[in-house]
């Protein structure tokens, strides 16, 4: 398991297709739900993605844009379009509403029409936070590359109504998202997060895979170095240089991220059980590490994270 695999675990489409729409000008779709990640891809035509407080981004056929929430955004035919905005929080199915596929109502497929497919991704828990933190509010990837075959499959699937279509679309959209993020991280002149480049290093990459595959194992710098086939000092220096922090500091942060999700997801689990699940035999040592990294002890974190939201004004 490499770092990217692990961080993508909490980002999966499941009934997340908002809709596929064939549009003729003028149009203005306002996506108001502020999903953590929204993937927009054009099968034909062109338009503009306009996110809150960010410059408009031109989107052409077979190009893809990913918008990071909670910002809302519009998809318009022209930046100064006169079209009345259509709120897609009301007209598109959202994950909270069951995520069923729903056409927005534009059916004119004449010359010059624009066909848009949009998928919103709920991102649950803390495990994918480093991935979200590495992304700008709007990222665009040009047409061409590894995702072109996916677009062909996506276009064919959107054009039919067949049993199992939602499952197929979900997996195609997952594929699109991964291809888009990889292309963006690898773009010429880009500045990907340090873990992206580090995972390709023959020494540090192996250590990172071990820490992500077996975070609860009793790792030391020496045991990691032995598995990587280098000296302890070589691993410690190379890891710190490439990742930006020592191996065991990275491991502790990773364990506390996993623990934060377990505290929320497993309400019946005791703090001691969560501690053991992430590699701590001593719940007191775990609690001290958790508070140091997360700013609250495990019980406080659980109470805050699971407290019901109180509507404003109540």
Domain ranges of the chain: 3-185, 197-306
User: Nearest-CA neighbor of 38 among 86, 75, 84?
Assistant: 75
Fold designation for 197-306: Arc Repressor Mutant, subunit A (1.10.10)
User: Nearest-CA neighbor of 38 among 154, 139, 149, 107?
Assistant: 139
CA gap 18, 159 in Å, rounded? 15
- pLDDT at position 108 is 36
Q: What are phi and psi of 28, to 5 degrees?
A: -155, 105
- pLDDT at position 310 is 52
User: Nearest-CA neighbor of 288 among 279, 298, 277?
Assistant: 298
Query: Is the sign of the CA dihedral 241, 247, 252, 256 positive or negative?
Result: positive
Task: Give every residue of the chain whose pLDDT is below 70, as ranges.
Answer: 1, 13-21, 89-112, 145-147, 309-314
- pLDDT at position 17 is 52
Using one digit for the tens of pLDDT, what is the confidence trace for 113-165?
Answer: 788 888 888 777 788 888 889 999 999 888 776 567 888 888 888 777 788 88
Contacts of 314 (CB under 8 A, 6+ apart): none
- pLDDT at position 94 is 36
CA gap 123, 197 in Å, rounded? 24
- pLDDT at position 14 is 61
Instruction: Decide which of 3.40.50.1980, 3.30.70.520, 2.60.120.280, 1.10.3720.10 is the CATH code for 3-185.
Output: 2.60.120.280
- pTM of the full predicted structure? 0.81
- pLDDT at position 11 is 78
Q: Do domains 3-185 and 197-306 have the same CATH topology?
A: no
Q: What is the DSSP string of the chain?
A: --HHHHHGGGB--SS-EEEEEEE-SS-EEEE-S--SEEEEEEEESEEEEEETTS--EEEETT-EEEEETT--EEEESSTT--SPPEEHHHHS--GGGT------S-----TT-EEEEEEEE-B-SSTTHHHHHTS-SEEEE-S-STTHHHHHHHHHHHT---TTHHHHHHHHHHHHHHHHHHHHHTSTT----HHHHHTTSTTHHHHHHHHHH-TTS---HHHHHHHHTS-HHHHHHHHHHHHSS-HHHHHHHHHHHHHHHHHHH-TT--HHHHHHHTT-S-HHHHHHHHHHHHSS-HHHHHHHHHSPPPPTT-
- pLDDT at position 69 is 86
Q: What is each CA distance from 274 to 22, 205, 235, in whole angstroms? A: 49, 27, 29
- pLDDT at position 99 is 33
């Amino acid at each position: 398991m490499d770092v990217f695999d692990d961080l993508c675990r909490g980002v999966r489409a499941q009934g997340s297709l908002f809709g596929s729409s064939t549009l003729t000008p003028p149009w203005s779709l306002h996506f108001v739900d502020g999903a953590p990640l929204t993937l927009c891809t054009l099968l034909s035509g062109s338009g503009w993605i306009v996110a809150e407080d960010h410059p408009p981004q031109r989107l052409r056929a077979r190009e893809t844009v990913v918008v990071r929430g909670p910002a809302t955004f519009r998809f318009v035919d022209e930046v100064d379009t006169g079209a009345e905005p259509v709120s897609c929080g009301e007209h598109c199915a959202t994950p909270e509403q069951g995520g069923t596929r729903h056409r927005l109502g534009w059916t004119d497929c004449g010359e010059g029409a624009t066909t848009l497919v949009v998928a919103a991704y709920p991102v649950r828990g803390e495990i994918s936070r480093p991935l979200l933190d590495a992304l700008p509010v709007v990222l665009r990837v040009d047409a061409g590359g590894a995702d072109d075959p996916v677009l062909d499959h996506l276009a064919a699937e959107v054009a039919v109504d067949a049993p199992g279509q939602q499952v197929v679309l979900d997996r195609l959209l997952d594929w699109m998202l991964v291809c888009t993020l990889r292309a963006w991280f690898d773009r010429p002149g880009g500045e990907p997060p340090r873990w992206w480049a580090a995972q390709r290093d023959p020494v540090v990459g192996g250590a990172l895979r071990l820490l992500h595959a077996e975070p609860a194992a009793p790792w030391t710098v020496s045991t990691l170095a032995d598995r990587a086939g280098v000296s302890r000092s070589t691993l410690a220096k190379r890891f710190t240089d490439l990742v930006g922090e020592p191996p065991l500091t990275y491991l502790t942060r990773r364990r506390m991220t996993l623990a934060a999700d377990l505290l929320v997801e497993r309400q019946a689990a005791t703090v001691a059980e969560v501690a053991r699940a992430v590699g701590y035999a001593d719940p007191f040592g775990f609690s001290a590490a958790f508070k140091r990294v997360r700013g609250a002890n495990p019980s406080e974190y659980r109470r805050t994270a699971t407290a019901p939201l109180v509507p404003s004004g109540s």
